[in-house]
Amino acid sequence: MAEPGRALPVPTPETKHFWDGTNAGELRLQRCDSCGKNYFPPRPFCATCGSRKVTVFKASGKAVLWSYVIHHRPVPGFKPPYAIAVVQLAEGPRMMSNIVECEQTPEALQLDMELEVVFEKQNDTVTLPFFRPAKG
């Protein structure tokens, strides 16, 4: 469900594959063909070794909760209190997201809990990746 007023991304040529992926229900990362590093956020080269030989691949969508805050101040598109989280993806990179289908409390949000990606369409062109407690 799209919350009105939430800040939305504007893709660039270097990030289009990621946002095309979320629209298609895929979490797309990149891997360096030279050194094997999986990385995020998107860019057309590897920041570990400098190679331009990189491949887009579909990530598993599995992650763990790495850290977060529960924000209590008003932000357009959000109903406080809500968690702003960073998740560690199974493939290695971390990304910011929100945790859905879960109470937004310190008791419910335990670091290292297992998560899985879900996609929520915001409008005709933008779908955001969120994470929910893994259902196994």
Any contact of residue 2 with another protein (CB under 8 A)?
Answer: no
In this structure, what DSSP letter does residue 106 have?
T
The least distance separating another protein from the CB of residue 29, rounded to whole angstroms, comes to 12
Q: Which stretch binds another protein (CB under 8 A): 24-32, 56-64, 88-96?
A: 88-96
Read off the amino acid at residue 42.
P
Any contact of residue 127 with another protein (CB under 8 A)?
Answer: no
The DSSP line for 42-85 is --SS-TTT--S-EEEEE---EEEEEEEEEE-S--TT--SSEEEE
Candidates 22, 8, 103, 9; CA nearest to 56 is 22
The number of residues that bind another protein (CB under 8 A) is 35
Any contact of residue 22 with another protein (CB under 8 A)?
Answer: no
Residues that bind another protein (CB under 8 A): 6-12, 15, 19, 40-41, 66-73, 75, 77-78, 81-82, 84-86, 94-98, 106, 111, 128
